[in-house]
Amino acid sequence: MSVAIPADIVSLGDYERHAEQRLPADRWAYLAGGAADGLTRRWNREAFDRLRLAGRVLRDMTGANTRTTLFGREMAAPLVVAPTAFQTLFHADGELGTVLGAGATGTWMTVSTQAGVSLEEVAAARHAPLWFQLYMQHRRADTLNLVRRAEAAGYEALVVTVDAPVNGARNEESRAGFRLPAGVEAVNTRGMAVPSSTAGPGESPVFKGLLDGAPAWRDIEWLRAETRLPVLLKGIMHAGDARLAVETGMDGVVVSNHGGRTLDTLPATIEALPSVAEAAGDRIAVLLDGGVRRGTDVLKALALGAKAVMVGRPVVHGLAVAGAVGVAHVIGILRAELETAMALAGCPTVDAIGESAIWSR
C-alpha cells in the first residue's frame, strides 16, 4: 500500500511538526523531551546555528560525491541511523519500518538494545549494514548473550552507550504521564536481571542499588577481549575519556550527550567535538550525534573532525509520519542538503571537508 507524504514536507523540521501532530502527547513527550529543563537538548541545535560556513567558489567539482569509508566498508554518505528505543511506540512497523527505509537509501542503521522488535528480526530485513547498540547488562553473562546474538545475526559493529548508568530527570515525560503501553517492551532483554533500588524511606534511590553493576572501564576492557567486532563508545564528551577509549582498544567513539536526555547543561555535541577529535587523532573513528537537522550540520560536523554523523529523532519523525517511506525521505532530504552544502562550500568529496570550511573571522 502506498503512503502519501504530506505535500508541505520539504525539510526535517516539517517532519517534526507533522509527527508532533500525529502522536499522543505522552509519546511525543517521551520522544522529544530532554532531561530537567531541556537546556542541553536546545543547545545541541543552537550551537549548530551559531556556526557559519566559509563558502568557496570556482572549485573543480568534477566527480563530486558523498562517499566515505568506515571500518573498511564504503558508505554512500557519512550518515548512520542512531539507536532509538521502542520504535513501535511511533509506528506499528517499528524498527522493521526503519530498517526498510534506511536500507532503501543504502544507509547504515544502529539497532537499540531496547528495540521493540528482536535484533534477529531486524537483521533479517536489512538491505544495508547494521550496527548493534549495546547497553551493558547487570550480569556479564547477559551482556555476552546480546553480543553473541548480534554477531550471529550479522551485525558489523557494537555501539556501547556509556553515558546513561541511570536515566536523567525526564520532567517532560513525568508531566505527560508517559508509561510504556501494553505490548511495547525491550524484547531483546527479556528475562535479564535489572538493578533495583534498595533505598529506604526518605533515601534517594540513585545511590542505593541502581548503580550496582554499572559499567566501568574494566568492563569495557573485558568486552573488547570478548569480540572481534569493532567497538565504539557512545556518549563521549570529554577529551580525557576519548584518550581512555584509545588506550582500551576501542575502534571509535560517538560524541553524544544522549540527545540532551541524561545530564542537563552538558555542552552541545558540536561544541565538544573538536577537543574529542583532537584527543582521538587518527587512531580511532569519531562520530557525532545530537541536533543534526540539516545537511549544513553534517558538513559542519565533518569539518570539525567527525567521520560521520548519527541521526536519531528525525528518522523517528519520518517513521511516525509515513513509515518506511518517511524514513527513506528523511534520509534523502538530508543527503540532498549535504550535497548542496558541499557544492556551495567548494568541497567535492568528504575528504575535502576540513576546518577551513568553517568561517573563523
CA 87, CA 96: separation in Å to the nearest integer?
9
Which residues lie below 8 Å from residue 163, measured CB to CB, with a gap of 6+? 234, 235, 236, 237, 256, 257, 258, 262, 263
Task: Work out the angle at residue 335's Cα, subtended by the Cα atoms of residues 332 and 341, and round it to the nearest 5 degrees.
Answer: 140
Place of cell 517499528: 94
- Note the pLDDT of residue 205: 73
pLDDT value for 284: 98
DSSP assignment of 10-68 equals -SHHHHHHHHHHHS-HHHHHHHH--STT-HHHHHHHHHHHH--B----S---TT----E
CB neighbourhood size of 189 (10 A): 17
Among the listed ranges 198-202, 251-255, 303-307, which one has the minimum average pLDDT value?
198-202
Give all strands (DSSP E) within 65-170, no chain letters.
Answer: 68-70, 73-75, 79-81, 108-111, 130-134, 158-161
Q: Are strands 130-134 and 108-111 parallel, antiparallel or unpaired?
A: parallel
Mean pLDDT of 92-100: 98
Residues 149, 346: Cα–Cα separation, whole Å = 44
State yes or no: pLDDT of 170 exceeds 80.
Answer: yes
Average pLDDT over residues 12-38: 97
pLDDT of residue 213: 76
Architecture (CATH level 2) of domain 15-57+74-357: Alpha-Beta Barrel (3.20)
Query: Would residue 329 show up in a list of annotated catalytic residues for this protein?
Result: no
Q: Per the residue annotation, which of 18, 91, 258, 317 is the catalytic one?
A: 258
Give the pLDDT score at 1: 46
Q: Which residue do the cell numbers 541545535 mark?
A: 45
Going by C-beta distance under 8 Å and a sequence separation of 6 or more, which residues neighbour residue 41? 33, 34, 35, 259, 260, 261
Instruction: State the pLDDT at residue 230.
Output: 98
Amino acid at 259: G
Q: Give the length of the chain.
A: 361
Full-prediction pTM beyond 0.85? yes
Does position 196 have pLDDT exceeding 90, yes or no? no
Q: What are phi and psi of 246, to 5 degrees?
A: -65, -45
**Looking at the predicted structure, is the pLDDT value of residue 80 above 60?**
yes
CA distance 246 to 240: 10
Query: Span 136-163, mean pLDDT?
Result: 97
- Listed by start position, the domains of the chain span 15-57+74-357
Judge whether residue 2 has pLDDT over 60: no
What is the mean pLDDT of the segment spanning 10-34? Answer: 97
Share of the chain above pLDDT 70, in %: 97
For the stretch 328-353, pLDDT in tens is: 999 999 999 999 999 999 999 999 99
State mean pLDDT over 165-181.
Answer: 92
Closest CA to 86 of 188, 154, 168: 188
pLDDT band at 15 (very low <50, low <70, confident <90, very high): very high
User: Looking at residue 209, what is its pLDDT?
Assistant: 66
Average pLDDT, the chain: 95
